Amino acid sequence: MTKMRTVDAAVKILELEGATQAFGLPGAAINPFYDAMRQHGGIKHILARHVEGASHMAEGYTRAKAGNIGVCIGTSGPAGTDMITGLYSASADSIPILCITGQAPVAKLHKEDFQAVDIASIAKPLTKMAVTVLEPGQVPGVFQQAFHLMRSGRPGPVLIDLPFDVQMAEIDFDPDSYTPLPVYKPVASPAQVDKALDMLMAAERPLIVAGGGIINADASDLLVELAETLNVPVVPTLMGWGAIPDDHPLMAGMVGLQTAHRYGNATMLESDFVIGIGNRWANRHTGGLDVYRRGRTFVHVDVEPTQIGRVFAPDFGIVSDAKAALELFVAAAKARVASRDVPDYGVWVKDCQQRKQTLQRRTHFEETPIKPQRVYEEMNRAFGRDTTYVSTIGLSQIAGGQFLHVYKPRHWINAGQAGPLGWTLPAALGVCAADPDAEVVALSGDYDFQFMIEELAVGAQFNLPYVHVLVNNAYLGLIRQSQRGFKMDYHVQLAFDNINASEDLVQGAKGYGVDHVKVAEGLGCKAIRVFDPDELGNAFAQARKLASEYRVPVVVEVILERVTNISMGVEIDGVVEFEDLALTGADAPTAISLLD
């Protein structure tokens, strides 16, 4: 045994558990922990400008690579409350991050001390564990349990709150004998898999719904193998996008009310059997359950027992880690193929492919101001198959889901359920920290971008280069569109005459308000502004070059027309389309470039 401070033991455990990248802000109540990191030297740290930003950086870091756990660190009081949005976002999407906060000394916890707040109670509903450690000797065990919980079952975040005197106390700790606790993952039984396959093979038009649990479990290859073995089309959810490449013959499109493809919804409505793996039947995916479920049999596979039947009762439920289940499904499916005990779904697959070829939305517009659909068309041309997209909420994210192409798991990084404004920028920085050589492209509307715009300075300071596509209509676009139902346009306009605007902004988009190019440059980054749709390709190419040369974020601000309605609805059979729809003949190759 070795005598050491609790914080020295905690930092050593971070290293032994493989959590070696932290994001945060030091402060008086957490300075002992920072001192331990300084002395240890093995934990990399990125200084955020806002603790909420640090929590989203930790999320981006975790989401970018299998096995990652991002760490967010802050002082007492408001630092912890600032982390709550990150904890909510991580919890909602089953993302493990570890939040560590400083706290007032134990004796002061009930005396309303400066910046002393019961952060564990506040965070508890949003975490797998939230605890204020009152006994120094419990610190190693609490950190050990934290990693066990974050990785076991349905992954999720943990918060550990450390009073100042607990951090400074000495304990006996032997790093050489430390062993991580075994991770628990439920596993489907062969009998359950056989029953699910029997149900699938009794169907004529089956689908696999691939959720984010497949990506979390690093099981995308197994999903594709199962689909190919059975010749069954796949519908990825928004969180599962990339589990099967967009141009794979069995990728049948996304389903839903917003981030969905016309052909995906049409295929779902034609199906008669659905097996969902690692998904949660989110309302933006299903819409009304009467429409979504009508005429279909459902099997649901999920790692969390309480998810089975949470939204609706499936015809058969299986509690299992997605990877463990898919391994069994693939083996059983191959055995059935070998015995020629599998139906021929060739006609069904061709029908799905026909819908994919014809039920497209128009993207090629030549108008100025630029229509947003043209932006995504040019992004598909400019950025390759290895691009990692990061986005969170708003018309920009919805249109991105409808028009962009994603080909690999963890190449669409998105805050699915929480959708916090401002998430995109810090999350993109976390993705860059996870893989400095990755090509990262973030996508924001102007309001999302302004929420945490200060974090651009972090990218400049720590040389985290990426391209941030900022589509600017000087509106809260999604809220403006939803206000149509109330026949109002109320407090959703961001436009004003900026007395300090650059001359090109005054001439090209007078009244658009914030000069994002000036702000980005003032924060140490590079920025380009685009008014002409024909200049988008050159701007993206220039941005990639600048990011590579200067190793800083590069903002490409695209001045959009003020009002564009993006396709969405309240039922999957009632999505309202606002532009020319079915593209055929000469127009089709532009719209369906993913099939070229």
pLDDT digits (tens, 9 = 90+) for 200-247: 999 999 999 999 999 999 999 999 999 999 999 999 999 999 999 999
Q: How far is CA 288 from CA 211, 453, 568, in A?
A: 19, 37, 14
Domain boundaries, the chain: 2-177, 190-358, 372-566
* Topology of the domain comprising 2-177: Rossmann fold (3.40.50)
DSSP state of 208: E
Instruction: Provide mean pLDDT across the span 560-564.
Output: 90
CB atoms within 10 A of CB 290: 8
Q: What per-residue confidence (pLDDT) applies to 594?
A: 40
CA-CA distance, 318 to 195, in Å (whole number)?
10
Instruction: Provide mean pLDDT across the span 472-501.
Output: 89
- Quick check: 419 pLDDT over 90? no
- Quick check: 133 pLDDT over 90? yes
Instruction: Provide mean pLDDT across the span 94-118.
Output: 90
CA-CA distance, 477 to 425, in Å (whole number)?
19
Architecture of the domain defined by 372-566: 3-Layer(aba) Sandwich (3.40)
Asked whether the domain spanning 372-566 has the same topology as the one spanning 2-177, the reply is: yes
Kindly indicate whether the domain formed by 190-358 is annotated with CATH number 3.40.50.1220. Answer: yes
Q: What is the mean pLDDT of the chain?
A: 94
State yes or no: cis peptide before 369, omega within 30 of 0. Answer: yes
> pLDDT tens digit string along 498-538?
999 899 898 888 889 999 999 999 999 999 999 999 999 99
Q: Letter for the amino acid at 378?
A: E
> pLDDT tens digit string along 379-395?
999 999 999 999 998 88
Q: What per-residue confidence (pLDDT) applies to 178?
A: 96
Q: Letter for the amino acid at 136?
A: P
Instruction: Provide mean pLDDT across the span 266-293.
Output: 96
- Residue 22: name the closest of 430, 423, 428 by CA: 430
Three-state secondary structure call for residue 374: helix
Q: What is the CA radius of gyration of the chain?
A: 25
